[in-house]
Amino acid sequence: MHLNNFRNPELIKKIVTELQDWKKPVKFMEVCGSHTMAIGHWGIRKLLPKTISLISGPGCPVCVTPSSVIDSLIELKDVAIATFGDLIRVPGNKGTLEQARANGLDVQIIYSPMEALEIAKEKETVLVGIGFETTIPGIAYTIMEASKRNLKNFSVLPAFKLVPPALDALLSSKDMNVDGFILPGHVSVIIGSNAYNLLPEKFGIGGVVTGFEPLDILVGIKKLNEQIELQKPKIENEYSRVVTKEGNKQAQEIIYKVLEVEDALCRGLGWIPMSGLGIRKEFEEFDATIKYGIEISDTEEQTGCRCGDVLKGKIIPPECSLFGKVCLPNNPIGPCMVSSEGSCAAYYKYER
């Protein structure tokens, strides 16, 4: 189907008109940072009645990366740090990777994990392993390739996160108030829509996997309303053109051949049981936490930034006292203003 079909003004107007009749106040969480950006870009919030609220969730991988990961990288000596670009401006307790690079640390921005193997041909290299299920297979495959090539001077600092356990932890907290989820498109390509069945089965809350076009998102919201009206929460797949129930089995096999589930620390959310992935013993020679004795710890400095509350859906970015005043895109205090998928960056760009 042509992309323009998902931007069809007549279809969009039809659904928006139908949504205007919704009377019961509801709050839906868009889990994915790309959805937050798309919602801002397309002006979706402005099209909705006041009875339908959208809040952001913990789906920005840069935003949930703890300060101790940044701090540990800054402390490494005589190595090249290979990382995706979003991470270099994320503040740790000891500054940013961008600042450390200005002071001499070899930080190299990559666009594919495999580029790190080329860097490792010349120098001891640490690849920063952040991301959710979307990017994890590529990094796991890179570790497999490093093993095949016997690249002893290559390692990965694993700071991976898994979406379903994060949602489980959010809904298990006493003060969580959400009526449904707009579920990630990219992540769901890998894990499949069945991965979210715990939402209705355990919590009685529904979700819709959607794409990132305006019609995708509006249809997802309409489906959530219908579930609430019928009192039948379930997981629906609006993004069936790319997402299946079971996901990408080959990608899943690559992930779990190299990595295994473990507890993980998320910035703003704390330690979440079985929500991350560590490197299996068979590949531990490529584990930077072992190679360099790195420990991931909850050592966040108090700056007044409320990025954690934004990620938990407790507030929207303008409710943080720093937003748009001290915390700006050119002077980010917290990671939610840094990342291209960050909620604060999206609100600042599109919804001030």
pLDDT at res. 308: 87
Pairing of strands 259-266, 270-279: antiparallel
Q: CATH topology of 3-58+170-237 equal to that of 67-163+247-291? A: yes
What single letter denotes the amino acid at residue 41?
A: H
pLDDT at res. 290: 97
pLDDT of 209-231, one tens digit each?
Answer: 999 999 999 999 999 999 999 99
pLDDT category at 176 given cuts 50, 70, 90 is confident
Q: Where are the domains of the chain?
A: 3-58+170-237, 67-163+247-291
- Residue 126 pairs with which residues in a beta bridge? 81, 155
Q: Please give the structure tokens belonging to residue 36.
A: 């937050």
Q: What CATH code is assigned to 3-58+170-237?
A: 3.40.50.11750
pLDDT category at 3 given cuts 50, 70, 90 is low
Q: Are 107 and 136 within 8 A, CB to CB?
A: no
- Residue 32 pairs with which residues in a beta bridge? 59
Rounded distance between C-alpha atoms, residue 258 and residue 129, angstroms: 13
CATH of range 67-163+247-291; options 3.90.1330.10, 3.40.47.10, 3.40.50.11740, 3.20.20.70: 3.40.50.11740
Alpha helix positions (H), 162-304? 163-172, 185-191, 198-203, 214-230, 249-258, 288-291
End-to-end CA distance of the chain: 34
pLDDT at res. 174: 80
pLDDT cut 90: percent of the chain above it: 80
Rounded distance between C-alpha atoms, residue 264 and residue 268, angstroms: 12
Q: Are 299 and 67 within 8 A, CB to CB?
A: yes
pLDDT at res. 302: 72
pLDDT of 98-145, one tens digit each?
Answer: 999 999 999 999 999 999 999 999 999 999 999 999 999 999 999 999
Q: Within 13 A of 238's CA, how many CA atoms are on the CB side?
A: 24
pLDDT of 6-46, one tens digit each?
Answer: 899 999 999 999 999 999 999 999 999 999 999 999 999 99
Rounded distance between C-alpha atoms, residue 228 and residue 112, angstroms: 41
21-42 burial, b at 16+ Cβ within 10 Å, e below that, comes to ebeeebebbbbbbbbbbbbbeb
Please give the average per-residue pLDDT across 270-286, as a whole number. 95
